[in-house]
Amino acid sequence: MKLATIRTPGGGTEAVRVDSTTAVSLGVPDVGTLLAQSNWRQTAERASGEALDVGTAAYAPVVPRPGKIVCVGLNYRTHILEMGRELPEYPTLFSKYADTLVGAGDDIRRPVETDEFDWECELAVIIGTEVRRPTVEQAEAAIAGFAVLNDVTCRDWQFRTREWLQGKNWEATTPLGPWLVTPDELPGGVRPRLAIRTELDGETMQSDTTGDLLFDPVTLVRYIATMGTLRPGDVIATGTPGGVGHARRPARFLVAGQKLVTEVEGLGRCENLVVEDGAR
């Protein structure tokens, strides 16, 4: 099952179930609101509301205002090695704010304050059940589905200090969508094995498989939910594979006018134009 949050002509949003070329209204404003209902799956499966044309849909972030966005750094073996680091014993965690999120077709706003604007394609985990200190089985059951995310990063700001927050939280820089796809639709289920890639102006920059994750989605849910409760609509960004611009020689970074495509097999793609945000 595919779920999405689409924009409506009146300036609002609504949650839909995506069925091939049509989308069925679910009667709530967004997927986050849907997931807050204990019977969200049954509601989505049984919905028979107005059918909309998917081809004309404008996608908002699939969960527009998640309570938490927990990100994992250094979680693909290829990326860890290209960054010159050792394989970590525990997940490297940081947070993003909801203000960073944009939809699958929205512009990415490049801050004028950075000269090192970089791409990071990621598999996003979306939580569907409240969970704290879960068993493996409870962690598996807490995963509502997966989406595409790009953790676009200001590298020069990220590496000003040993902590990464200031490089990761610029407004309107992080595509999330176009859909939430439930685990039953994917090879590997809650531990999906999917091709993941980034393309910049038609050139492949990152290409890997989520099978290369050091800490898989279930492990991450268990680890993060040990610290505090994960709730419906929360997002976990699972990390990026090798091929980021910062690690290239010479380094390459995003500039205004470029088209960034982030794609995960079975989850769709985000196609975003990079635009300048503010005047120098």
280 confidence band (pLDDT: 50, 70, 90): low
Percent of the chain at pLDDT exceeding 90? 87
Q: Which domain holds residue 126?
A: 61-277
The pLDDT of residue 161: 93
Domain boundary among 33, 58, 83: 58
Pair (184, 103) in one structural domain: yes
Pair (72, 22) in one structural domain: no
215 confidence band (pLDDT: 50, 70, 90): very high
Percent of the chain at pLDDT exceeding 70? 99
pLDDT tens readout for residues 229-271: 999 999 999 999 999 999 999 999 999 999 999 999 999 999 9
Pair (88, 53) in one structural domain: no
Pair (27, 116) in one structural domain: no
Domain boundary among 36, 58, 80: 58
- What lies within 8 Å, CB to CB, of 241 at 6+ separation is 76, 78, 79, 121, 196, 206, 207, 208, 212
Pair (38, 136) in one structural domain: no
The pLDDT of residue 57: 86
Pair (140, 243) in one structural domain: yes
Pair (49, 66) in one structural domain: no
Residue 33: which of 1, 72, 60, 70 has the closest Cα?
A: 60
Pair (221, 264) in one structural domain: yes
The pLDDT of residue 228: 97
pLDDT tens readout for residues 73-110: 989 987 777 777 788 899 999 999 999 999 999 999 99
56 confidence band (pLDDT: 50, 70, 90): confident
Domain boundary among 58, 85, 104: 58
Pair (192, 243) in one structural domain: yes
Pair (43, 154) in one structural domain: no
pLDDT tens readout for residues 164-190: 999 999 999 999 999 999 999 999 999
Residue 35: which of 72, 66, 68 has the closest Cα?
A: 66
Pair (19, 72) in one structural domain: no
Work out how many domains the chain is built from and give that number.
2
